Structure 1
Amino acid sequence: MRGYSFSQFLPSNIPKGGFDELLKLFLELLNYTSGDANEALAWLNELDKQYNLTQDDYGIGDFIDELKQKGYIDDNNNSGGFQITGKTEQSIRKSALEEIFGKLKKSGKGSHNTNLSGLGEEKNADRREFQFGDSLDQIDMTASIHNAQINHGISDFTMTERDLEVEEKDFKTLTSTVLMIDISHSMILYGEDRITPAKKVAMALAELIRTRYPKDTLDIVVFGNDAWPINLKDLPYLQVGPYHTNTYAGLELAVDILRRRKTHNKQIFMITDGKPTCLKEGNRYYKNSIGLDRKVVNKTLNKAAECKRLKIPITTFMIAKDPYLQQFVRKFTEINGGKAFYSSLKGLGEYIFEDYIKNRRRTVR
Structure 2
Amino acid sequence: MKALNEGGLGFHETKKIGAGSVIQDTTKKFEPGDDIKFLNVPQTVLNSIQRIAKKDSEIKFPISMELDDLEKFETIEEVKVTVVYCIDLSSTMKYSVGAGESSRIEAAKKALWSLYVLNKKFFPNDTIYIIGFGSFASKIDPHDIPYLKTYDANDNFLHYTNYQAAFRLALKILKHDGAQNKRIVMITDGQPSACFIDNENQKNRILTDKPYSHFYIPDDATLSKLKIEHEIKLDTGGDVVYLCYRYRQVDPFIKSRTLSEAKKCKHERIEVDTIMVSEEDELLSYVESLERQLKGRAYYINPANIDKILINDFISHKKKILISTNRW
What TM-score do the two structures reach when normalised by structure 1?
Answer: 0.51
Say if 1:183 and 1:241, in contact at 8 Å, map to a contact too: yes
The answer for the alignment partner of 2:137 in structure 1 is 227
What does 1:160-309 align with in structure 2 at a 5 Å threshold? 169-189=75-95, 193-242=103-152, 243-281=159-197, 282-290=238-246, 291-309=249-267
The answer for the alignment partner of 1:108 in structure 2 is none
Unaligned runs of 5+ in 2: 1-11, 40-66, 153-158, 198-237, 317-328
In the TM superposition, what is the alpha-carbon distance from 1:336 to its structure 2 partner? 0.9
Paired letter, 1:340: A
Cα distance change, pair 258–284 in 1 and its aligned pair in 2 (3 A): closer
Residue number among 310, 317, 320 corresponding to 2:275 in the alignment: 317
Paired letter, 2:283: L
Distance 1:218 1:304 in 2: 19
In the TM superposition, what is the alpha-carbon distance from 1:128 to its structure 2 partner? 5.4
Mapped pair 1:120 → 2:36: no
Distance 2:310 2:170 in 1: 17
Distance 1:354 1:333 in 2: 9
* SS of residue in 2 equivalent to 1:285: strand
Say if 1:273 and 1:319, in contact at 8 Å, map to a contact too: yes
What does 1:130-145 align with in structure 2 at a 5 Å threshold? 130=31, 138=35
Unaligned runs of 5+ in 1: 1-111, 143-160, 359-365
In the TM superposition, what is the alpha-carbon distance from 1:226 to its structure 2 partner? 0.8
* SS of residue in 1 equivalent to 2:171: helix
* SS of residue in 1 equivalent to 2:302: coil
The answer for the alignment partner of 1:48 in structure 2 is none
Say if 1:205 and 1:353, in contact at 8 Å, map to a contact too: no
Say if 2:300 and 2:311, in contact at 8 Å, map to a contact too: no
The answer for the alignment partner of 1:332 in structure 2 is 290
Paired letter, 1:118: G
Say if 2:94 and 2:150, in contact at 8 Å, map to a contact too: yes
Q: Which has the higher helix share?
A: 1
Say if 1:321 and 1:342, in contact at 8 Å, map to a contact too: no
Aligned length: 228
Say if 1:277 and 1:292, in contact at 8 Å, map to a contact too: yes
Cα distance change, pair 171–187 in 1 and its aligned pair in 2 (3 A): same
Cα distance change, pair 268–168 in 1 and its aligned pair in 2 (3 A): same
Distance 2:257 2:85 in 1: 20
In the TM superposition, what is the alpha-carbon distance from 1:346 to its structure 2 partner? 4.9
Say if 1:245 and 1:277, in contact at 8 Å, map to a contact too: yes
Say if 1:179 and 1:219, in contact at 8 Å, map to a contact too: yes
Distance 1:260 1:130 in 2: 38
Distance 1:300 1:121 in 2: 40
* SS of residue in 2 equivalent to 1:343: strand
* SS of residue in 1 equivalent to 2:78: coil
What does 1:20-39 align with in structure 2 at a 5 Å threshold? none
Structure 1, residues 170-228: CA drift from partner, whole Å, max 9, x if none? Answer: 43243222211101110113565111221122222122122211122222111111111
In the TM superposition, what is the alpha-carbon distance from 1:318 to its structure 2 partner? 1.9
Distance 1:340 1:330 in 2: 7
Paired letter, 2:18: G
Structure 1, residues 14-51: CA drift from partner, whole Å, max 9, x if none? Answer: xxxxxxxxxxxxxxxxxxxxxxxxxxxxxxxxxxxxxx
Cα distance change, pair 131–257 in 1 and its aligned pair in 2 (3 A): farther
| Greater shift in the superposed pair: 185-194 or 237-246 | 185-194
Distance 2:281 2:151 in 1: 25
What TM-score do the two structures reach when normalised by structure 2?
Answer: 0.57
* SS of residue in 1 equivalent to 2:183: strand
Paired letter, 1:182: D
Task: Report the RMSD for the aligned CA atoms in angstroms.
Answer: 4.0
Q: Which has the higher strand share?
A: 2
Say if 1:182 and 1:271, in contact at 8 Å, map to a contact too: yes
